[in-house]
Structure 1
Amino acid sequence: MTNNQSILITGGAGYIGSHVVKLLLENSNSDITVIDNLSTGFKSTIDELKKIRDFDFIYADLSNWDEIKGVFKAKQFDAIIHFAASIIVPESVKEPLKYYLNNTANTTNLVKLAVEYKVKKFIFSSTAAVYGEPTIKEIGDGIDENFKTEPINPYGQSKLFSERIIQDTAKANPDFKYVIFRYFNVAGASPDLTIGQKTKNATHLIKVAAETTVGKRDKMFIFGDDYPTKDGTGVRDYIHVMDLADAHIKGLEYLEKNESDIFNVGYGKGASVKEVIETMKKVTGIDFKVETAQRRLGDPAILIAKNDKIINKMGWKPKYDSLETICKTAYEWEKRFNEQAE
């Protein structure tokens, strides 16, 4: 575990960022600073994390470049873990400039400040959306990091632009090193249920299924049952949020002795929409209403990661590699979160 470092985490009040903060607070003595504008993150999550031990929380927006520069002037950082971003695909199609400004321009400024203030390690939260809409034939037994990058929406494009900016900066500045993580489908919650996914108007399948299970929604939808898959529904690689968080800690350790690189983060196996719904019903013992609707634009039939690289090069070992575990923690968190809100 990374110790004695000063680490800046952008978006640390959000879903994935908060789980990384939790692991760092519990397992290292690193000095943590979180920046979040609380647009999708929550102050209550920060308050929960501060029960572990205290850390600096700065309420700020990355678009306020002067204010962010002031943070770097006030404190020297050894590493940045950059989560803060807009992530809703349909919204990115309707509001592309929001995505290019928030995701690409703000990342560019953050990278500029990292170089200017001699921050040597940069961990970037990217996405499998950079791979676009591959066909089943192209996917084969999974997508590796060398697969062509052809995003089909501004969200994926904004992340790919950011990747290139980070890579080009590292080429020009030998002391600046990065790890880029391309996430597949993240779900679940911390097993102790202190933090989890609070996203409003969630669109992710397992979160939506959990909300339906506890009665937050009266039904949920399967978007398309005519895909060329085993049961006609889309297949995705689901990863537990704690395993994803652990990958970020491994990423910091990796950069101590290794060169910059890009890694897929997934389990290397897929589950269909119908399988996820059946698993949620099985682990909760609750039947809920499911209807079929039309396909959503830009949803590939299958998206599965090849994860050999992160396992072999980084020594990453998933601990929660089970659809049952993912669904159960998502449900237990939703149940608790629902009770807290009442």
Structure 2
Amino acid sequence: MAWLVTGGAGYIGSHVVRAFREAGEEVVVIDSLSSGHAGFVPDDVPFVRGTILDGDLVRHTLRDHAVSGVVHLAGFKYAGVSVSRPLLTYQQNVTGTATLLEQMDAEGVGRIVFSSSAATYGTPDVDLVTEETPTHPESPYGQSKLVGEWLIADQARAAELAGGTLAHTSLRYFNVVGSATPDLYDTSPHNLFPLVLQMLQRGGTPRINGDDYDTPDGTCVRDYVHVADLAHSHVVAAQALESGRPLEPVYNLGSGDGVSVRQIMDVAAEVTGIDFTPEVAPRRPGDPARIVASGELAARDLGWEMRHSLHDMVASAWAAQQRHSG
């Protein structure tokens, strides 16, 4: 029996795959490589190249590898771009999830851990986001993730009515950073850490968008969590479902306090040894001063813990960036 990781050749997915292996769990990967990398998948892990929109491919993968549960990370993940490409976003994230659930039902696979997003909250008017905070997504990406949660919950109810079971939970998180190994790195063209580190490597000066927010140092405060910590909780969630232990439908994997953009810049200078003063640009429209989530519920049920400091996050990302560009 194995767990299927959709999107397992991506930055987060590949870390989840390795966390499964470290826990002694069998795993199989399906990934279209639209943003993932075949080299991120260990040689001894079965890899199926293809999209979850291909129902036949998904069904044969579930059957051929005796899959007992799915960790679903595959999807279009760029919130900003989703505004200009809503149809692609919904196709990948909503139709893809529906297709996956359909094939899971056909093959009797009754467990799923869904990689959701804190983008489902939009811009919450609270100091600390909890699972009870109302959802108001502000992009097609955030909306598609919320619809994915609804699809899974509705399919679970349908399975129960039919005398079956679909055990599930959804994990919401903000900014995932760092690397557990220099072989795996964030290749997103939109995320802050790779943008800052690549800029420094090229001899440029990173930029802060606004330094006059109502925060301790005037820059935006966000949740940043280390990818290894995140991957660990995905595996714990999967193991809980497999053991029959009930989980909440949704968990936030949050830091509880957050860090500012200025703090990230300061630590980047310290870690890289490159002394720089970031440029300050005007605020970007729609950027809230602070978005931070509580991880208390996940700590109770999923072993969630911030095991890595901000220094660890930057240092591991820098080591991976140097390996990649070297």
Q: TM-score interval w.r.t. the shorter chain? A: over 0.9
CA distance in 2, matches of 1:298, 1:157: 17
> Once the 2 structures are TM-superposed, how far is the Cα of residue 276 of structure 1 from its aligned partner?
0.7
Task: Decide which of 294, 313, 316 is 2:304's aligned counterpart.
Answer: 316
Matched with 2:259 is 271
Q: Write the mapping of 1:32-111 to structure 2, written as runs, cut at 5 A.
A: 32-46=27-41, 49-50=42-43, 54-111=44-101
Distance in 1 (CA, whole Å) between partners of 2:195 and 2:298 is 29
Equivalent residue of 1:186, what SS? strand
User: Which consecutive unaligned segments of at least 5 residues does structure 2 have?
Assistant: none
Query: Retained in 2: the 8 A contact 1:11–1:34?
Result: yes
Contact 1:127 / 1:156 at 8 angstroms: preserved in 2?
yes
**Residue 184 of structure 1 aligns with which residue?**
174
Q: Secondary structure at the match of 1:81?
A: strand
Residue 299 of structure 1 is matched in structure 2 by: 287
- How many corresponding residue pairs? 320
SS at 2:67 equivalent:
coil
2:155 maps to 169
- Report the counterpart of residue 145 of structure 2 in structure 1: 159
2:185 to 167, 177, 196: 196
1:259 aligns with 2:252: no
Provide runs of 4+ in structure 1 moved above 4 Å.
none
Other structure's SS at 1:179 match: strand
Question: Are 1:242 and 2:225 matched, yes or no?
Answer: no
Superposition deviation, residue 289 in structure 1: 5.6
C-alpha separation in 1, matches of 2:90 and 2:286: 19
1:39 partner letter: S
Distance 2:285 2:71 in 1: 31
Q: Percent of pairs identical after alignment?
A: 35
* Conservation of the 8 A alpha-carbon contact between 1:152 and 1:298: no
The one-letter amino acid of 1:229's match is: T
CA RMSD, 1 decimal: 1.6
Unaligned 5+ residue runs, structure 1?
A: none
Query: What is the CA distance between 1:152 and its match in structure 2?
Result: 0.7
State the alpha-carbon separation in 1 of the partners of residues 21 and 104 from structure 2.
23
**Corresponding residue for residue 13 of structure 1:** 9
Q: Does 1:213 align with 2:203?
A: no
- CA shift for structure 1 position 232: 2.0
User: What secondary structure sits across from 2:317 in the alignment?
Assistant: helix
Cα distance in structure 1, aligned partners of 2:90 and 2:296: 31
Shift of 1:292: 2.1
Contact 1:11 1:82 in 2 (8 A): yes
Q: Does the Cα contact within 8 Å between 2:233 and 2:303 map onto a contact in 1?
A: no
Deviations 1:78-124 (A, max 9, x none): 11011111111121100111111101110111112112211121010
CA distance in structure 2 between the aligned counterparts of 1:296 and 1:68, rounded to whole angstroms: 40
Q: Which of 226, 234, 241 is matched with 2:212 structurally?
A: 226
Q: Give me the whole-angstrom Cα distance separating, in 2, the residues matched to 1:325 and 1:71.
A: 37
Distance 1:62 1:305 in 2: 30
CA contact (8 A) 2:28 2:65 kept: no
CA distance in 1, matches of 2:285, 2:115: 24
Deviation, 1:260, is: 4.0
TM-score by length of 2: 0.93
The residue type paired with residue 153 of structure 1 is S
